[in-house]
Structure 1
């Protein structure tokens, strides 16, 4: 698969056996693995060490969000397993970001902007009066200025963000769906894999379209082909 480097599969399983079963099928067709709260709470750092045996980059998507020293200490613990990436909420503030970026590390720190499950009405209910685009724009600016290595952002803000920041500033993109994917889930601000890569995403986070598919390999091949067609469109 020509474009598998972009594809990080979200392994959202509680049971190690289920995670290993899925990875044994798809490991040669993906560029990395995303492990989130569901997996981490069920299996902890020991579980991550088992997944590292597949020799694929790991994005540990913990979305750390607390006072600066608490996030720093949580990060120290998580760095024991050397994930390629780990996520923190940018809304933890500049002081939190400044503190954690001082930590010498292999792992790249990625800031969460606005969850893909949220829309205009949601942030309005929080008292935020700007559009999602401008809200994400401001959070990305805070992340960049304070030394984070990149951000997680929905496809809807991707084009603007890549026009603003170089490829060295990593943009990880959830909310990826094939155009004919009609599965019901809580992702609202979505886009096709090809369009997301074309607009500048470094990494696509794709879970259910792969892990819930009757044929995960076929699903991955369709994702790869979607990227190929968009990047090579005349």
Structure 2
């Protein structure tokens, strides 16, 4: 689906960064029809949440299984095959060329969409230097974006701060999904490269991943609706 045809609701992904499947299901019930896409990450997956993937898919929700795969090609390929068989809509692979090529080959004709993780939004230039990378964050993100497009990935996970530069470099070749979204007044937490929903959409993001500002809100349904309204206004 091209971004121009998406509704504001379809642009919002809620991260179920919750410790138990039971609590996650209660959150899904509270959010109701306000949300159509849910992200299940490591915390919930490793707490018994994988069966929730099928339950959400059966209920008509799209599921983003955020496993950030990185391993030898054979292992990445078999993992992608297993994830595709679960009915997942999106999954993530760290944007190393070898891993991305293995994922694309293993996905085949499945409906699963592959997102390359460029540089985690909790990292900045100092963190990259400490890890042994030369250059700055934007250089690495743009290089990985070019590689992902050439390899045949469907999209990228990138911070809102890099969206405009990626669009300038590769156009609309990839769907851009941005975590690190913080509505005005929300605490940044451990996110070092964050932005508001309005700023991310206007920069060219297709979908926004939001977790804590919604699931920790006193009224999660109202918080989600507020973000959807802000997205709609930004798309304008």
- TM-score normalised over the length of structure 2: 0.91
Q: Which residue of 1 aligns with 2:118?
A: 113
| Alignment partners' CA distance in 1, 2:231 and 2:54 | 31
Which shifted more, 95-104 or 207-216?
95-104
| Distance in 2, Cα, partners of 1:79 & 1:56 | 15
* In 2, Cα distance between equivalents of 1:16 and 1:45: 9
Looking at structure 2, the residues matched to 27 and 163 of structure 1 have their Cα atoms a distance apart, in angstroms, of 37
Q: Is residue 31 of structure 1 aligned with residue 36 of structure 2?
A: yes
State the 1:34 CA deviation: 0.7
Distance (Å, rounded) in 2 between the aligned partners of 1:222 and 1:180:
13
Q: CA deviation at 1:26?
A: 1.0
1:138 and 1:130 map into 2 onto residues whose CA distance is 11
CA distance in 1, matches of 2:80, 2:102: 11
Task: Check whether the contact 2:182–2:188 (CA below 8 A) recurs between aligned residues.
Answer: no
Counterpart residue number, 2:4: none
CA RMSD of aligned residues (A): 1.6
**Greater than 4 Å deviation, 4+ residue runs:** none
Partner of 1:101: 104
SS in 1 for 2:208: strand
| C-alpha distance in 1 between matches for 2:173 and 2:29 | 31
Kept after mapping to 2: 8 A contact 1:175/1:206: yes
Cα pair 1:156 1:190 within 8 Å, conserved: yes
Match of 2:53 among 48, 58, 62: 48
**Alignment pair present for 1:22 and 2:27:** yes
- Out of 65, 73, 77, the residue aligned to residue 68 of structure 1 is 73
User: Does 2:130 match 1:125?
Assistant: yes
**What is the SS of the residue equivalent to 2:185?**
coil
Instruction: Give the TM-score normalised by the residue count of structure 1.
Output: 0.91
Note if contact 2:32-2:221 (Cα within 8 Å) is conserved in structure 1.
Answer: no
Q: Give the drift of 1:47.
A: 2.9
The CA distance in 2 between the partners of 1:168 and 1:222, in whole Å, is: 30
**Ranges in structure 2 where 5+ consecutive residues have no aligned partner:** 1-6
Is 1:223 matched with 2:227?
yes
Unmatched runs of 5 consecutive residues or more in structure 1: none
Quote how far apart the aligned CAs of 1:217 are: 1.9
The worse-fitting range, judged by mean Cα deviation, of 82-91 and 38-47 is 38-47
Distance 2:139 2:101 in 1: 23
Which residue matches 1:138?
Answer: 143
Distance in 2, matches of 1:191 and 1:45, equals: 30
